[in-house]
Amino acid sequence: MNQNMNNMKRKTRQREIIKQVFQVESRPLNPMELLGLAQSRLSGISLATVYRAIKELVETEWLITVEMPGMALYYEINLHRHHHHFFCYSCSKVFEVEGCVPVETLTPKGFLLESHEIILSGQCSACMQG
């Protein structure tokens, strides 16, 4: 009878916590970072659940993928805003960077520029002070 329940997404403690972590941290996270942060709120949470939640949240576009060169994927809340990233060599955290620069001037002759990515690296302010 209750056909309406088929394939219905349920609100679970794990999924709520995973979204909370992204909101509280407000920076891109990779699956292992996310696992650690989620476990500090609910110790039993598993890596499989983290991956499952990420997958769903990317599919619904609540999260977007951040590809950092040479690293596992990071994910961040989809803010629908053009921006770039800063990678900290000390703590390996990734941060959002606002603004942009005129990269189209670099496009080689005859090439069509469709998108671009700028990755700054160095030390974040927390690591500079530590």
Partner DNA sequence: TTGCAATTGAGAATTCATTTTCAATATAGC
Partner DNA sequence: GCTATATTGAAAATGAATTCTCAATTGCAA
Per CB under 8 A, residues contacting a second copy are 65, 67-70, 73, 84, 86, 88-89, 95, 97-103, 105-125, 128-129
Tokens describing residue 53: 């939640």
Sign of CA dihedral 96, 101, 102, 107: negative
> Hey, what are 73's tokens?
């994927």
User: Per rule CB under 7 A, is residue 69 in the interface with DNA?
Assistant: no
Which residue, 51 or 101, is less far from DNA as judged by CB? Answer: 51
Closest distance to a second copy from the beta carbon of 82 (Å): 12
For DNA, the closer CB: 39 or 123: 39
Contacts (Cβ under 8 Å, ≥6 apart) of 116: 103
